[in-house]
Amino acid sequence: MREKMTPPSCPPPIPVHPPVQGGGTRDRDVRGGTRKLAAGAFSQPGTAPPIASLPPGRGRVGDGGRTGGGWFLLLLLLLPLPAPPARAAGARDPRSVEIFDLDCGSPLGRREITLFGNGTVRRREGEPGKEEMGLAELSPDELDGAKHRLADEDLGEIDALPHGVEGDWVERCTLRLALSGRPARTFRFGRYDTLPLPLSRVLRVVEDLAVKVGDLKGREHLPEGYDPRPGDRLKRTDGQLFEVISFTADNKGVELWGVDQPLALYVLRAEMAKEFVALVKRDRR
């Protein structure tokens, strides 16, 4: 009977092949690569030389391994990224484009109304150097409507404007208008000058947009539902004081006289709140 063989407690040693007679090196295949073993490097019996282990397809260059993937990835990383689209040459930010700017002032006060290309309306008024400001935003339809109203007026034949009342205390205005497709124009006039109808209608558009700006912070205003009476002293937007004298025959207009300046003024009742900002004094009789 055959005796049962007891399995060894450890695996048998890996045989070591001695180098070729005469020293030198020999080749050993390692999964598609070639490894050089130095003669006598592993001469101890029972010791196996370390064998390099590389994943399939990851051999060194020249060993047939697939190394192109890494170079391709590196090439992608080095390629320049496309630059973001730049603003068209010569194009300006609509927020900095002024469609119109009306600037009126005197030594007593200043009032400025500006419409920007993005639909923002800015209004500033008050004592010189102490102006208060308010903003309003037009909808796209409102902005287009304002542009059309301005473009409908033919200002090309207006050259010199007539002069009316002049003086150090009389408010002077400068209107700068820049419509698309038309040359920019600048008009200078006094508050009480008689203006051509096309320019008057342009100023009406300016005033209509100024109304859209809410009350300025800390701005004075006439009492709610104010009804003028003879003897009332009112403060105008430029700071000048006027006194109510009488009314027109149809009772729709108000006649006022300047307190500090010999100046007569006629204002529609419906426009009083736009012209005056405070009731300074009222005769109690």
pLDDT tens digits, residue range 154-204? 988 888 787 777 777 788 999 999 998 889 999 999 888 889 999 999 999
Q: Tokens representing 235?
A: 């403060």
What length is written for the chain? 285
Q: CB-based contacts of 243: which residues, under 8 Å, 6+ apart?
A: 231, 232, 233, 234, 256, 257, 259
Whole-angstrom distance, CA of residue 31 vs CA of residue 54: 8
Whole-angstrom distance, CA of residue 261 vs CA of residue 252: 24
pLDDT at 51: 46
DSSP 8-state code for residue 152 = T
Give mean pLDDT, residues 25-45: 45
pLDDT tens digits, residue range 67-93? 555 555 555 555 565 555 555 555 678
104 near 172, Cβ under 8 Å? yes
pLDDT at 96: 85
What's the pTM value of the predicted model, to 2 decimals? 0.48
Backbone Cα Rg of the chain: 46
Give mean pLDDT, residues 217-233: 80
Number of H helices, E strands in the chain: 4, 13
Measured CA to CA in angstroms, residue 38 lies from 26, 27, 46, 47, 244 at distances of: 8, 10, 17, 15, 118
Q: CB-based contacts of 246: which residues, under 8 Å, 6+ apart?
A: 230, 255
pLDDT at 258: 92
Say how many C-beta atoms besides its own lie within 10 A of residue 42's C-beta: 15
